[in-house]
Structure 1
């Protein structure tokens, strides 16, 4: 009897032992369960890991400087600690997209606070914030994107940095054709240099040369041979498309130069994809392959046989990279508290006719054709109402600017204004660049000229029209960056009066479709820290059908 009890006890212990082994095995499998987490560098240069779980907590709680945020359920650690623990995290079944090596290198880089001695007349012309911009550029070795708001003096800052490196000249300035004479004037005024506007190959090889993007893209190899040590690229968003002839010719010029200064109030006009050529021009070693950049920051994904890089991902990390050592950006609100205010209004026009549903028309294989057709149809529907509104401004006897997108609208408004006896200037894509400077000067200085009739695409950048008191957009344009640049032709240094910005939008036209798209693109730029959605309080709505809940809205 005793032996039987003893045998049963032994069997029970064996069964318990086997069960314990199975339980441990099961727990082991559970502990190695694959778990996806998100890892990125935040705006403070810390690595964020989320959402937290038991395995992540076990690994990171051992670190001396790790911080756990209960509200967001995330851990924050230093880049150094991340490099030390990321292998262990993966061995414990945690899956995550690694932070690019170039990003980690920037995050580990110590912030430079060196102050450079600035000797020369040009430095005495700088405002305090412009002087700090020059110092920042010098700390980055003269390779930087100057992305200050339109009207804050990017030109004088770029020339001040260039002057510091004058022993490394020739200086090459690349700019839109319409701005060549403005740059020549700036060189004379700020540097005391007679810069040569290079319009033929025979003009190349100057100590200070100014060339258009078109001329530079057609003569890239010749300019490479000129060995310009300092290169300025004004309105560098002209380089936003990687595969264009222009970008392929000019980016190597910037990469080869000892100093490269890229200027734009909107370096990316709608998405992170457009920043890659610009970043590569400053430092090609950060993201040597576009595939890595596209996957990380453009929400790269395979669609059929192709990859789509039109999205936005890890915006906070990209913003940090730009701010840390690639770009300086100040807004007017930050540095020019004395600049008069800018008021925006959206005026809804009640047209007699109505277009077909834009949302239905702008799909399918013929999108581009339909867009053109919709815009032209909108011109016919709204032009009489636009004229009626313009009449109210003419009666105020003040200088103002009208921006149009299509020649039909410009022709109609020019005829209307001249019939009313209004003295105007007109600048569009057909206006020779040599005439633009004279026309702008006449608007600025001649009291008899009341109106500047301008093409949005031809005149949104580079022109200073501070004599104006108001800007009227007779038509919308797809690109929000272009609209904001156009606004700031009058709202910049030199403006002494408050200014009105008026968007004329017509009910029942393509305007109903375009406005929400503009807001969406501006939201992306705001997340990257290279713009702000300044239009979101001007009749903003994401619901197409509810755009017209009011007629006029005003905001600061």
Structure 2
């Protein structure tokens, strides 16, 4: 009891300072767990009398009530009290330490699970009803196995040689300045939907697919448009249906990009058990995490192309996700004559040269033991063996010519703007996403009631339609109420909750960028979002520094220097208000905006921490946007207010409007849409 009481006081003292750190959240959750467990133990104990039991339960209830009251002002803490809250490893460890301080023995902490190869027979997975309907509607969509191209190499004088080791070493020792990219054709006349323009380096990959090349390890740096290249290559090679396997954080973006670059094709995303899958779609996007339960019907769908995004995710061939990806690619190669297979990654190598093997196997260049037909034929045509001088150079060239494409930003700087914004929409799934969307509906409904009350008080409404002047006045009233409220059920609280929900997704994407393209600047508005991001970086082993408003000048400068000068510090986590001006972070050319500012000027100021004199590479700002929420509205309003030139980031720093304007416009849009829906109903 004394340990619990002391810890509750420590949490209250920390919160009284006005800052909720990750350590405070850990201590809060560990204390809440102990209170819950101790209460259950006291209720079940048979060795204490009713009087003593009642006394102990009352003391525990008092402590729990005190802890809960402390958390009322912090939604992030309240969420930790729910029954389904995820308990962090840090909280479990602290809980054990607290029990040890109280003299209570606990069982040893279990060792972390080791991911084992999936050797068990495949379990039957789900089959979406629309996929069943697709097969019933057209039985001729079944795969044609007669079209398969043999992949086994014919016997040659290299058949007895061990070749995978020499092939890997040919890349390990490559120092002759040879190109890391296959020869690509000059682009001719390519159809691009919607009058969009491809950058020259993108068009060359699409032209190669149009000329018949079918396997690509597309290893361009982030920001060079790999998604568009893959979608247009599929169109050029008629590789439909197309399967796209991606990390969860970019799944929504792939569907969005398909709508831009593959306008003649329908795209669908596999969510959960697949209830919303469109079985008649041409492009099926699935994330690694749910591949296991869907691989059965995916294997029989009849795909003639497959794209694996962030392909370094499959580097560990013993993992289940790698095995599922390799099984699917082998299945596609077995029934499609020459399928389009594309591995996209800015980081083909994470730890060592052997990371190549799983990607090469996915592309059908090798199997577990040897090169397959195309690569073996190319190696044989060199006339060399691993014992001959010059084999490494020739072998490396053979692999590159099969489809390795690697361009850096600096290599194609003339193709791309010197700074630009790339939006990355993400889905907020689960209870958090539902809660945020419900809160947005409640906000809209509250304004609808206020609008109707105002009409009723006026005595007469407009002849027809929506009174847009009154809509603007209602939005102004709501905005004023929000500015003076701390309830959190307003536009400010909603944006904060969205930021909290996006934090780990944004941090995960920033970590991927850091591994593939070097240093990354990460911006957020709220301290708890910064805390959550830093926790994600720490768990993934990504070193970071932090720039916050509560730092002394010396600490601030020390953290800036660490990011700029220490090659191992990959990310700097910045406050939009504290780090948006006055500092130089040009060592990075990628900026992640985990939360949106209210104005285009604030956005430009943040991006200009990297885009400034001395920057040698084009700068890309990645905006993480919560799809189907007010977050997406704010992004559109910022762009509309800034105008086309500022959206393209052509150097304009003109401030159009203020943060209050954007807040007001967001509320106007929300209310107008709600009223229009009522009219339509």
Same fold (TM over 0.5): no
Query: What TM-score results when the alignment is normalised by the length of structure 2?
Result: 0.35
Higher strand residue share: 1
Query: What TM-score results when the alignment is normalised by the length of structure 1?
Result: 0.42
